[in-house]
Structures are given as structure tokens and as C-alpha cells.
Amino acid sequence: MFVAVVGGGPAGMAAAVSAKRAGADRVVIIERAERLGGVLPQCIHSGFGVNYYGEDLTGPEFAERLRADVKASSVEVWLNAMVIEARPDKTLIISTPHGISFVKPDAVIFAVGARERPRGAIAIPGARPAGVYTAGTAQYMINIQGFEVGKEVFVLGSGDIGLITARRMALEGAKVHGVAELMPFPGGLARNVQQCLKDFNIPLLLSHTVTEVLGSERVEAVKVAQVENGKTVPGTEKVFPVDTLVLSVGLLPEAELIRQMGLPILPYTGSAAVDQFFQTDLPGVYVVGNGVGIWDLVDNVAMSASVAGSHAVKYEGRSSDLAEVLPGVGVRVVIPQRLSLGESDVPRIWFRVACPIPVGVALLTRGEEVIARKGFAGLKPAEMAEFPLKEEQYRAIRPGDKLHLRVQQP
């Protein structure tokens, strides 16, 4: 059994280790960067690993733990190696500094991560000077390269990466003029709003967005205005004299290779549909981590990947009868979108709500019929909520069922 893992971030490492432990003869991690770890080495803040390792770790520490597991489990690691083409028969074509390689594994696990949405994805008008960066790019330049990225900074987007980058730039000596958030609620975890903004006196402007970038060579200012019902409110525009605009406006799974395999891309996750083992509709092809949908915690990324790794070996690509799970009212994302039926382990469904819900009930329905229900408190779009099915609920699902997961407020 030969398992190829595309990507050597937390998901790829966890998948590879679990595949090896499950008895795969050969496991190869194909990583395009010069080191394992994915984005973790640049995430030098803490908050990782509480669920997966039972300890609060920094990103590099979390990556180091996984890397030690990889080393201990005789997984092959190819660095500076990028898959440039993936064929539906699982052939991978790889560019490396030694040449072009072709491999044809028995199972492929795509642990390809996500990319950040750029300025152009949200069409911020204005000039096109230097000094507009996505948060992850800024973080890489600060934490890996040691660059001084900006002196006067404005951040758009209050997702966790935006909040953490705002604090990081403040710690580097930059003046962070503010963080604007289009929605009326913060996009990141509550603890990050406190620890990254409030503790550093960085203003958070909810229901605000950047309406224009100014500057002919380097950014000279940004215009920020209040937003109501998707429209900017006239007369609320403020000018912030900054040299840097940091964007944290969303992540998208890096799904190009998955698309090349011929798998349809779901509009609400931006990647292929998977079952509870993270297997796609192509037997033996798995998508894990942020490549399958955007998770809130790296712990969940690693967890999802280990499930796939061992499944790939034990089941050798066989798949059972399937039901479909779709996001219903109030729910933006569900993972998985397929349920393999008749498995011994009862699956859980992960979901993200579309807006904050203080108290609510999640319902898994088949038409009008409620298959499962669970009460939740404090659901936030920033967090992935976990809906474990009960034995009898799972067994009640039939092949070909179209189930919806929706959230109701009392």
C-alpha cells in the first residue's frame, strides 16, 4: 500500500503518520516548501494543540511535535517538491530540483491547505501601490524573513489571522491605526479580540470597510467607511494615513489539483465533497485540513487528517453506501458532505453558522423529518461546531438520503 500525501503542513504530517501507523508500506509527503510545517512556523503565537496534544503550544512547537512523529515513523519526505499535475487515475507529476517525477500511489491524500483571498477578490477600489498584503503574507515576512513590513498599518478583516497580525505588527513597533470588519460582529475568536486588539488599544471598527487605497508608489492612506445593508454610508468616510494595508478577508481551499482530478468543487466550501473519512467521490482520493474547508483550529485540521490517513490504508479505497449532507438555513458550511453508511464508528458532523446564535438548536433533517437534534449555546461563525450523531440516529439514515443541517433559534 503506497500512500502519497500532497502537502507537509499539519494536515499532511498527521495524515502521513497515521497512514504509516495503520500499516502502509510506503508513505511519501510531497512538500513544495523547503521545510515541513506549512503555515505553522510563521504562527509564532500560542493557542495550538489544546485538543490534539492537551497542551497550549505555539505554531512552531506544534509543527515540531508533528515533525518528530514523521521522523520517528519512517515516512519519506520530499521537500522543494511541488505537484504540478494530478490525474484522475491518481498519477501525480511533481517538479523537484532533481527533475520531473511521476508517481502513481494507491491512495492520495490532498493536504494542500488554503490560500488567502487577495485584494482583487473583494475589488477594493483605488490605486495599486506597494504595501497591500494579505495577513499571512505579512506574517511570513515578519516572522520567517524578519522584515519590517510597515510602519503605519491598517487591517481589514477581523478573522483570527487579521487580529493576530495586527498584534504582531504592533509588537514589531508599527502603529496599527485600526481593524475594520464588514460584519457587525468580529470574525475571529473572542479570546483573540481581547488579547490582540483590546490589550493593545487597537480600535475595532465593526460594520466598516476599506473603500479606497491611496498612494502612487507606496500606500499613503486608506479610506474607511461605515457599511449598512451592504452599502457604504455617505458621510462616514475617514482617512487613515498609513503605509500598509493588511487584508484578512478570507481563506479559500487550494483546490486546483483536486479540480484537476475531475472532482466537482462545492461553492460553499470551495473544495470537493468528502465523507466522514475525508474520502472524496473518487475511491482512494482524500482531502483533509484546510484543503477541504476552512477549520477554526489546527487541532481539527490534524484530527481530520489522521482519520483519513488510517482509513486510506485500512479500507484501500473501498467505499460504502452514501447519504448527502447539505447546509440548511443558518448554516454556512458542513463537513463532511457525505456520510458513508454502515460503518462501525458513528460519525460526527462539523458546521459553521452564518451569524452569531446565542442559543439555538441544530437539526439534521430528511425533508420534513428530523433525524437528529442537538442544543447549542454561543454559536459563532468563527468557530466550527461539532455535532456527534447517536448510534440510532446514524442507523436511521438510508443510502441516497439528502439531509440538511439547519440551525433554529427559539
Interface positions with another protein (CB under 8 A):
32, 80, 82, 84, 93, 95-100, 115-116, 118-121, 123, 125-131, 133-134, 136-137, 140-142, 144-151, 172, 211-212, 217-218, 232, 254, 256, 259
d(CA 194, CA 191): 5
Q: Could you tell me the smallest distance in angstroms from the CB atom of residue 148 to another protein?
A: 4
Q: Which is nearer to another protein, 27 or 142 (CB)?
A: 142
| Residue 99: C-alpha distances to residues 5, 46, 95, 103, 350 (Å) | 19, 38, 6, 13, 41
Q: Closest CB to another protein among 89 and 217?
A: 217
Looking at beta carbons only, is 133 or 286 nearer to another protein? 133
Q: How far is the CB of 232 from another protein (least distance, A)?
A: 8
Residue 51 beta carbon to another protein: minimum distance, rounded to whole angstroms: 28
CB 40, min distance to another protein, A: 16
Smaller CB separation from another protein, 24 or 155: 155
State which residue, 47 or 113, has the beta carbon closest to another protein. 113
Rounded Cα–Cα distance for residues 187 and 177 (Å): 18
The strand pair at 231-232 and 92-96 is best described as unpaired
Query: Minimum CB separation from another protein for residue 141, in Å?
Result: 5
3-class secondary structure, 159: coil
Comparison of 130 and 329: residue with beta carbon closer to another protein: 130
CA distance 330 to 23: 41
Q: How far is the CB of 108 from another protein (least distance, A)?
A: 18
**Per-residue CA distances from 32 to 5, 9, 26, 111, 178 (Å):** 12, 10, 19, 12, 35
Q: Are 134 and 155 in contact (CB under 8 A)?
A: no
CA distances from 311 to 278, 294, 301 (A): 9, 21, 16
Which 3 state secondary structure label does DSSP give 231? strand
As measured in angstroms, the least distance from the Cβ of 313 to another protein is: 29
CB of 211 to another protein, least distance (A): 7
Nearer to another protein, 150 or 293 (CB): 150
Of 244 and 276, which has the nearer Cβ to another protein?
244
Task: Give whole-number Cα distances, 3 to 86, 98, 250, 284, 340, in Å.
Answer: 14, 21, 31, 9, 21
Show the cell assigned to 288: 483533509
Q: Provide the minimum distance between the beta carbon of 13 and another protein in the complex, in angstroms, as a whole number.
A: 19
Which residue is listed with cell 485500512? Answer: 314
**Complex with another protein: residue 117 or 366, whichever CB lies closer:** 117
As given in the structure block, the three cell numbers for residue 244 are 500598509
Instruction: Give the residue carrying C-alpha cell 456520510.
Output: 339
**Which letter does DSSP use for residue 50 in this model?**
T
* 46 neighbors 57 (Cβ within 8 angstroms): yes
Using DSSP's 3-state secondary structure scheme, residue 123 falls into: coil
Distance CA 154, CA 371 (A): 47
